[in-house]
Structure 1
Amino acid sequence: MSASVAVEGGRARPGRPRHIPVQKSSSVAPRDQILQASASLFTSKGFAATSTREIAEAVGIRQASLYYHFVGKDEILAALLGATVRPSQVKVAQIEAEVPPECPEAALFLLALIDVHTLANAPHNVGMLALLPDVVSAGKGEVYVEFQDERRKLASAYATFGTRLAKQHGVTTADEALGAMLIQQVEGIITLRADGVAVDEVRANEIAAGCLRLCGCRGDQISNAQQVAEDFVARHLRRGAPTTS
């Protein structure tokens, strides 16, 4: 997975020309430059302490030009947070289609591994911003609804895959609770990144294996699941260890 963020959405609106034109050699679209600069500022200075003027200056555009791409800071943050869940969530149907139903351990391992890659490569560890009061509060209207809905769908996929596996091992945790436990196991990578812990391929596999252990798996089942997951990743995703910044 790429360490750059490419997020769809946002409302285009009239705006003035860029104050400082993008270098012709740059392959990064202006909207993505705004997202990258915002991720850096939000995680270093804090969301509340960062102004749209600072973001615009970091990119080299007028503040009015920023509003051509985003209404304001909340919409930028919503786009960044969406990129921490969407790449994993959209792979669920493909996992269900390609992993045999008799191998629920492989499906869960694969989902967790993809999710680790997604979080490890999110710019500047923006996942830590998901717990900001503005994000979890219902008072911010609809700006964060899409992110929250996508995360719920991802947690539901964890619950579905995990429950299939847990039933084989006599684990009786309720579906919803198990899904929450599994997604939180993977999201622990956000704390690891914040603590400066490197997230390489070995640690990614350890985190995914931890999800299987929560569902009662041991030994050979985990090894087999890892092999299936690695084959899938080799076919469908860019190879290489997760990277953190």
Structure 2
Amino acid sequence: MGKNVTGVGRPRASGAAASSQNAREAVLEAAGELFTGAGYAATTTRAIAERAGLRQASLYYHFPSKEDILAALLAATVRPSLEVAGGLSGGDAPAAVRLWALAYADIRLLGGARYNLGALYLLPEIASPNLAPFRAEREQLKAVYRDLVAESGAPSGSGSDVAVRSNLVFGLVESIAIVRRDDPVLDVEAHAVEGADGVLRVAGLPAPDATLRAAARALLTRS
């Protein structure tokens, strides 16, 4: 969907500061800290600009609205996992190995990021039309999990079983954001391993062993 890129009274920045990739990254860094700390609704673009060390005009040069900043932050929580999923597709590794690998990488992404951006999934603003691209990419990732659950061949009574298991699998992966909220110093690696193990059990597959985990990690190094 198109975005409203104009704003009454918003100045436009110019010069090196406005075009610098560093300035854009500074805005995202500041917003990630403030959105997950002070809260999205309570954070103003002025506060983000001040935290980033920029004029507010420079912020608007890169992001026409606060919602655009949120969209960029959320995209960074999904696109790397979609890239991992793409690297895992088309291979001859068993579906269970690929499912473990994707869940492990996904949990590490959400759990290991500097700020707990996965917690932002609960914001009511997620339903905004401006965030439709993020929702679409998240659905793409969910569909990959669903395909892997179906391909794994776990016993099920009907197609609805696959849908239910896929929803539970996806929820388990994303639950790292809630765990991290309650335990900011959690052991991300341990949670990623246990979470990926849990994904296979929820999918109706046997508990993974060291051989399966090693094969999954090897896939990730090649993808």
On whether the aligned pair clears a TM of 0.5, the verdict is yes
Report the TM-score when normalising by structure 2. 0.85
For each residue in 1:113-162, what CA deviation from the matched residue of structure 2 results, as whole angstroms up to 9, or x when unmatched? 110121013331011111111112xxx33x10111001000110000001
Kept in 1, the 8 Å contact 2:100–2:199? The answer is yes
Gaps of 5+ in 2: 6-10
- Of residues 167-176 and 49-58 in structure 1, the stretch that sits farther from structure 2 once superposed is 167-176
The CA RMSD measured in Å over matched residues stands at 2.4
Structure 1 residue corresponding to 2:206, chosen from 215, 218, 227 = 218
Match of residue 242 from structure 1: none
Structure 2 distance, partners of 1:40, 1:201, is 22
Q: 1:153-168 alignment to 2 at 5 Å?
A: 153-165=140-152, 167-168=153-154
Whole-angstrom distance in 2 between the partners of 1:156 and 1:182? 11
Distance 1:71 1:222 in 2: 49
In structure 1, runs of 5+ residues without a counterpart are 1-10, 23-27, 237-245
Bigger shift: residues 116-125 or 81-90: 116-125
CA separation of 1:178/1:168 partners in 2, compared to 1, >3 Å: closer, same or farther? closer
Identify, as 1 or 2, the structure richer in helix: 2
More off after superposition, 50-59 vs 168-177: 168-177
Task: Please list the CA deviations of residues 32-57 of structure 1 after superposition, one character each: whole Å capped at 9, or x if unmatched.
Answer: 11001001011111111111011111
Equivalent pairs, count: 211
Query: Equivalent residue for 2:99?
Result: 108
| Contact 1:37 1:58 (8 Å CA) reproduced | yes
Residues 104 and 193 in structure 2, CA contact (< 8 A), matched pair in contact too: yes
Instruction: Name the CA shift for 1:226/1:54 in 2 (closer, same or farther; >3 Å).
Output: same
Instruction: Please say if residues 109 and 209 of structure 1, whose CA atoms lie closer than 8 Å, have aligned partners that are also in contact.
Output: yes
| Aligned residues with identical type, % of pairs | 34
* CA distance 1:199–1:85, change in 2 (3 Å): farther
